[in-house]
């Protein structure tokens, strides 16, 4: 059936796209099962290009990234998956499993931090420091394929191709299909072959079967005669005497003379070594204490950062669905300072569009309240608009706010907003109406309230205390609506 049962729309193309996405997902799953993680990533990305709502593909992509040591990419995919499908989604369990363990979060943060530091050392030419830092990274996250590859490159730079090959084999155990790993391995084999590292070892023994017994004998057999035996004994004795006379005896005498001085030197070295060890241990304790403090701070920051990114993603989903109010509520939960530079740009762009849409919604709601003569609530809405943009819609918000205050007998504030509306409007009729209202109020001694809120006359009255005439306000309001 190629039509929707509800709206009877043609869904043939949609079904074909969904089928292609599922086929690519199955291909990615097959490659992940044989540890071809790079190939799995490519197929899963293509699956999501066809159908971004395929949460099975997105969750599997996150698992593959996590298996490759790419924890940040994995978390991003799971957060997106959770925002697209809030219920019955395994991504929720994956995120909860990571977040509930502060030690695990700390390891992920330390891995990222130390790997970036290793890259910095490499760029600065500090190969030794980069090697030390990379070994720490792989101790924290042994599955980081990029870490094994970078370690291999550093070994290759130092022409230690045997160690580089070992690091690449570790990377290959995680991801058998990584093109970089295979290219580096090929280069290592070529250098090892060129340097003659592979040699054929000559056999020292020969073995053969005799009945049910395995006979092992030396490859070469020498038949020593009795004469050779005697000669060898004499030569050995002569060499032994020479060694005793020329090597052992002088050595004993020399050792006897220098024994006391040697013991004194050893004692001094022992004392110096122990003092250095004590100093080193004290420094290590201080460093560990600082590491613990930094870890606690980074764990807290990681939780807040994750919350902000999740709120940003929720806002983006709502924004894409044209649900600006919901997007605005999600943006209110985002801490902009914790976002990356690109994420801050996305946040700023969305905030500008959402704020404009929310101002328009507030304006419509305020006008509706005004038309229903609910002036007190209309004043609250108009005030929130002009606090954001005093000249919103060429002074229209200020204009209606002035009339709302006038109907509420608060002529001081009405005078203030008539003056502001007059300065921002491009409509001659609105400007004339504002001028008439201002002239009328000022002729009766009405003044704009100062910072403390006091006015020249009682709000909402004439200098003699009588109520102001609202006929002009009603007529001006009607003129504005007609325009």
pLDDT at 197 over 60: no
Residues with Cβ within 8 Å of 332's Cβ and at least 6 positions away in sequence, in order, are: none
What is the rounded distance in angstroms from the CA atom of residue 180 to the CA atom of residue 210?
52
pLDDT at residue 216, as a whole number: 53
Question: Could you tell me which residues are beta bridge partners of residue 217?
Answer: 206
pLDDT at residue 336, as a whole number: 86
- What is the number of residues in the chain? 483
Question: Could you tell me which residues are beta bridge partners of residue 10?
Answer: 3
pLDDT at residue 299, as a whole number: 63
**Range with the largest mean pLDDT of 269-283, 331-345, 447-461:** 331-345
Domains of the chain: 12-100 (1.25.40.10), 106-194 (1.25.40.10), 359-482 (1.25.40.10)
Q: Is the dihedral of CA 28, 32, 38, 44 positive or negative?
A: positive
pLDDT at 199 over 60: no
Q: Which residue has the tokens 């509520």?
A: 329
Lowest pLDDT segment from 21-25, 323-327, 463-467:
463-467
Q: Tens digits of per-residue pLDDT, 82-100?
A: 999 988 999 999 999 888 8
Q: What is the percent of the chain where pLDDT is above 70?
A: 84
Q: What would the two tokens of residue 336 be?
A: 């902009």
Q: Tens digits of per-residue pLDDT, 13-39?
A: 888 998 999 999 999 999 999 999 999
């Amino acid at each position: 059936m190629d039509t929707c049962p509800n709206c009877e729309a043609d869904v043939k193309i949609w079904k074909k796209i969904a089928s292609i996405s599922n086929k690519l997902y199955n291909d990615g799953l097959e490659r992940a099962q044989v540890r071809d993680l790079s190939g799995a990533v490519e197929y899963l990305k293509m699956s999501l290009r066809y159908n971004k709502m395929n949460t099975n593909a997105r969750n599997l992509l996150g698992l593959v990234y996590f298996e490759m040591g790419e924890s940040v990419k994995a978390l991003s995919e799971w957060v997106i998956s959770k925002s697209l499908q809030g219920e019955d989604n395994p991504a929720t369990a994956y995120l909860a499993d990571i977040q509930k363990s502060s030690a695990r979060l700390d390891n992920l943060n330390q891995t990222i931090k130390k790997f970036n530091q290793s890259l910095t050392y490499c760029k600065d030419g500090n190969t030794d420091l980069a090697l030390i830092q990379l070994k720490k990274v792989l101790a924290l996250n042994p599955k980081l394929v990029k870490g094994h590859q970078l370690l291999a490159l550093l070994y290759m730079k130092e022409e230690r191709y045997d160690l580089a090959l070992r690091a690449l084999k570790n990377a290959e155990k995680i991801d058998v299909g990584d093109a970089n790993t295979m290219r580096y391995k090929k280069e290592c084999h070529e250098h090892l072959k060129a340097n003659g590292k592979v040699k054929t070892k000559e056999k020292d023994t020969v073995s053969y079967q005799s009945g049910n017994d395995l006979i092992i004998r030396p490859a070469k057999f020498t038949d020593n005669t009795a004469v050779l035996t005697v000669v060898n004994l004499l030569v050995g004795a002569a060499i032994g005497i020479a060694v005793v006379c020329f090597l052992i005896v002088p050595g004993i005498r020399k050792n006897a003379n220098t024994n006391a001085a040697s013991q004194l030197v050893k004692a001094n070295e022992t004392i110096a070594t122990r003092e250095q060890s004590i100093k080193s241990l004290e420094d290590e304790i201080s460093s560990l204490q600082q590491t613990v403090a930094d870890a606690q701070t980074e764990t807290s920051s990681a939780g807040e950062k994750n919350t902000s990114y999740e709120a940003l993603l929720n806002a983006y989903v709502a924004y894409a669905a044209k649900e600006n109010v919901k997007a605005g509520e999600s943006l209110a939960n985002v801490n902009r300072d914790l976002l990356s530079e690109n994420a801050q740009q996305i946040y700023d762009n969305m905030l500008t569009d959402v704020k404009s849409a929310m101002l328009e919604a507030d304006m419509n709601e305020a006008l509706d309240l005004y038309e229903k003569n609910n002036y007190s609530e209309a004043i609250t809405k108009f005030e929130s608009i002009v606090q954001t943009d005093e000249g919103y819609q060429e002074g229209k918000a200020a204009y209606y706010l002035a009339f709302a205050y006038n109907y509420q007998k608060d002529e001081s504030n009405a005078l203030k907003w008539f003056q502001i509306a007059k300065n921002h409007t491009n409509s001659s009729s609105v400007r004339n109406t504002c001028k008439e209202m201002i002239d009328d109020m000022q002729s009766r001694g009405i003044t704009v309230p100062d910072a403390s809120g006091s006015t020249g006359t009682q709000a909402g009255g004439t200098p003699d205390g009588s109520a102001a005439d609202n006929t002009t306000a009603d007529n001006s309001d009607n003129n504005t609506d007609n325009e």
